[in-house]
Homo-oligomer: A and B are copies of this chain.
Amino acid sequence: MSTTPAISQLTANTIRGLAIDGVQAANSGHPGMPLGMADVATVIYTRYLRYDPTCPDWFDRDRFVLSAGHGSMLLYAVLHLTGIGRDGRTHAEKPIDIDELKQFRQWGARCAGHPEHGEAPGIETTTGPLGQGFCNAVGMALAETHLRARFGAHQMDHWTYGICSDGDLMEGISGEAASLAGHLGLARCIILWDDNGITIDGTTEVAFTEDVLARFVAYGWHVQRVDGHNQEAVAAAIDAARAVTDKPSLIACKTTIGYGSPNKAGKSAVHGAPLGVDEVKLTKTALGLDPERSFVVPDSVYAHVRLKDAGRKAERQAWQARVQAAQDDAFGRVLANAEDKSLDISQIAWPAYAVGTKTSTRKASQAALQAICSAVPEVIGGSADLAESNLTHMKASGAFQRATPTGRNLNFGIREHAMASMCNGISLHGGLRPYNATFLIFHDYHRPAVRLSALMRQPVVYVYTHDSVWVGEDGPTHQPIETLQALRLIPNLETFRPCDANEANEAWREALTRTDGPVALAFTRQDLPVLDRSNGGPDGLRRGGYVLTETPNATVTLIATGSEVWLAADAAATLATEGIAARVVNLPCLERFDKQDAAYRSSVLGALPRVSVEAGSTRGWERYVGLDGASVGIDRFGASGPGKTVSENLGLNVPNIVATVKQVLGA
């Protein structure tokens, strides 16, 4: 093994200096990890990572994921050195400059406490919540593998590198993704583990003594162990990992947290607190840096990092030429999606349902998905082992498996959390629109990843079937009560709960049309009558809510969502027989409805007393019914029994709605 050139060592130490200066300037942050992993980052960015600094979004670039997001200064420092984004026109497209490193963790700065996707070029994903970056990387590698299989290595042929921490590997989510990545043989995924043995609460000896590499071998990974401060050893390990064609790779990089700090290296105190002014100086001295100067980058380091830039650009241009020569229209669609997340959905032959027929919205979703599958080849997805219940299998495509990577049906196994986080990775990779599916109740199992879809504005489609106590016999563990309202609380997420089969189409349409955030689709297990929704017009669902039935001389407005819309309509019919005229309003997406102008909202909700009906928590419905109205819902856990029985016994029935209306009206 050759000796690491001095310039490579200086590059790593420059990263170290920038990282501890940034943390010190902010008086907040995590210096330990950047000090420990600067050698690894140097190796990845100077010797392996394929990118063009003048074209950060080059679709066939290698992806780098910093799963240990608390080490964000490592990423900012190295991105600064590369100058990725140097041809950018807007501020957001331009490289992180040296002054921005000084603004680390300040209001409005792009160098946020944790890497935030979209803030600056080269930040491939938002990390911080542990385990998520690991799964994003697996998702990115899956996307690449799939696209390479479909469109050829001349158009898609890159790697995904990741750096993860002990914490990433303790979280269950990474175990889920690792098991699946091993099963699928996602060989383009190389994760370098910062094996420093230290966490916030001390050494990993207090809680984490398992044999991690043996565990990954059990998952089907290729594993190696190297000295993470020996750049040649790290490079040799990456070479070896790249030579493995049937397994993802985990490289345990034995490092010292806070490497270089004479008094704090190897201690948990260096994990998440600034070194202090004196220790910064001592550390710089120990690293051969000028202790009296901050935010210093020698020209030779810039030159070293950027040495291959001409070749990098040429490589990207060669790719572009190959793609142009190929004239592959299907790949052109993929590129368009990669550009702005858009999809051409004009060719979808949506199924249609006659008013008065009955079907569940999950079955309608199934039919919609078949139409989508044929017309929108960028759609890929699957279920956490509930495809038979969620009805999310695309029959015209095969399963994505090791031997059949062109398949668009993903078998995630019973791993909801990794499923969602991998879909974030697929979406971040670009070129594909991922969906995933489980029972609505199991939203909780992957809620952290849904939050990240929303935070990163990734248009991942979440299909949630069995969306109420109508689940029935499976009982309270399987019956969502609080879930719909909990979904609506997540900023940037839109939750659609269509009232019938035709509206299920429209919900899918909105999910595919949206480009700036995730969409949750709540579908029923049980059959619902297809309603006459002509009053709402084509824009009804798109606006989040509309009047289903205007009634002359109405004295009350009934508001419902999803499977309770027909129930509200039934209640209105009964009320009519008792001389009470009721309007019926359908609010399939509260978040979307809230964004409409006040005039529209008023026109829909009306000035009459209001009663809402939804098979779930009433908390939050006061926004629509006020304190003078009332909500029919369920504020307790459900119960096991046939769905209709459970629903009716918990108050979702016409007599209860009628009684509630009368109470509100004082009638």
Contact = CB atoms under 8 A, between A and B. Distances in A.
A455 B482 contact: no
A485 B418 CA distance: 25
A645 B201 CA distance: 28
A28 B636 CA distance: 24
Contacts of A29: 473
A396 B109 CA distance: 43
A385 B207 contact: yes
A105 B645 CA distance: 11
A92 to B, nearest CB: 15
A240 interface: no
B218 A212 contact: yes
A107 B639 contact: yes
- A114, A128, A481, A641: most-surrounded residue (chain B CB, <10 A): A641
Contact of A108 (B413, B620, B641): B641
B414 A474 contact: no
B473 A26 contact: yes
A209 interface: yes
Q: Chain A interface: which size bin?
A: 35 or more
Contacts of A536: none
Interface string A108-152: 110011101000000000111110000000000000000000000
A291 interface: no
A399 B452 CA distance: 34
A114 B645 CA distance: 17
Interface string A25-53: 01011000000000000000000000000
Given A129-B477, A176-B170, A207 B219 contact: no
A475 interface: yes
A663 to B, nearest CB: 14
A376 interface: no
- A105, A167, A399, A414: most-surrounded residue (chain B CB, <10 A): A414
B207 A413 contact: yes
Contacts of A649: 107
Interface stretch (A78-86, A227-235, A307-315, A621-629): A621-629
A91 interface: no
A455 B473 contact: no
Contacts of A180: 207
A654 interface: no
A642 B415 CA distance: 36
Given A128-B477, A218-B218, A385-B199, A491 B109 contact: no
Interface in A13-28: 26, 28
A489 B417 contact: no
A475 B207 contact: no
A106 interface: yes
Contacts of A472: 28, 113
15 contacts: A107-B646, A112-B476, A171-B172, A172-B175, A175-B175, A208-B413, A210-B220, A211-B220, A218-B218, A268-B388, A444-B447, A488-B619, A492-B637, A622-B626, A627-B627
Interface of A: 26, 28-29, 69, 105-109, 112-114, 116, 126-130, 166-167, 170-176, 179-180, 182-183, 199-202, 204, 206-212, 214-215, 217-220, 268, 383, 385-389, 399, 401, 411-418, 441-442, 444-445, 447-448, 451-452, 454-455, 472-478, 481-482, 485-486, 488-492, 617, 619-620, 622-623, 626-627, 635-637, 639-642, 645-646, 649
